[in-house]
Amino acid sequence: MKAVLFLTVVLSGVLAVTAVPGQIHFSHGFRNSFEAVEPVQGTQELLQENHVVENEAGVLVPEEEPEMLSAGEALSVEGRFFACPAGWIRYKSSCYLYVSAGRSWTSAAANCNSLGATLASVHDLFDYSFLQQLTSRGGGTLAWMGGLYFQGWRWVDQSPFNYNFWSAQHTVSRYQCIHLNTRVGWSNNNCGNGWPSICVKNTDTC
């Protein structure tokens, strides 16, 4: 009797689910219970975060990447936000001006200040090489920089005096201002000498 009851249960299960190649049919009661299952919450948000969309065939595919700007276009966009004034030369994130008129160091510093700038400072060999080239292109061989001796060497723009490239160093009791030389390193000399100078503006003042 138990065997008959067992076979009856098995046959009922077989009749309830009929397999067809490529498709599965569910009994009415089972189908209803399956369709009642809600989709996993957050699925759409997850797809959006991973930039996945559904195409016309209903297949999930990666969303197309936004078009990137070319190098030239990127520079053009950057230039709209940072352009040096006429006559100034851009280097790194600043604008530089070679002033050919001969002035004392104090007068040169005041002239830069009137332009919203300071005398240039130097923090590595690349900075100094750039200033040498700027001076050479301007037709000079010497130019005042922003170095001054006051209880130690310092730059007038308040940046650290953390790099030295002396070609000659004279007594600070008489020679307290630093000048560039296009052929060698810098030196200190009489602040009253009338030499060209180099001014620099930061990006927020260009």
Whether 181 and 89 share a structural domain: yes
- Alpha carbon of 10 to those of 4, 27, 183: distances in Å? 10, 15, 101
Tell me which amino acid residue 161 is: F
3-state secondary structure of 86: coil
What token pair was written down for 39? 């989709």
Contact 80, 190 (CB under 8 A): no
Average pLDDT over residues 108-133: 97
Q: List the domain range (segments joined by +) for residue 16.
A: 2-62
Task: Report the Cα–Cα distance between both ends of the chain, in Å, rounded.
Answer: 100
Give the CATH number for residue 118.
Answer: 3.10.100.10
Whether 101 and 184 share a structural domain: yes
In a domain, 191, yes or no: yes
Whether 181 and 109 share a structural domain: yes
pLDDT tens for residues 123-144?
Answer: 999 999 999 999 999 999 999 9
Average pLDDT over residues 141-169: 96
Whether 190 and 137 share a structural domain: yes
Answer yes or no: is pLDDT of 7 > 70.
no
pLDDT tens for residues 36-76?
Answer: 434 444 445 544 554 555 555 554 545 554 344 444 443 44
Answer yes or no: is pLDDT of 182 > 60.
yes
Number of domains making up the chain = 2
Whether 96 and 185 share a structural domain: yes
Alpha carbons 125 and 185: distance in angstroms, whole number: 10
In whole numbers, what is the pLDDT of the chain averaged over residues?
A: 75
Confidence of residue 83 (pLDDT cuts 50, 70, 90): confident
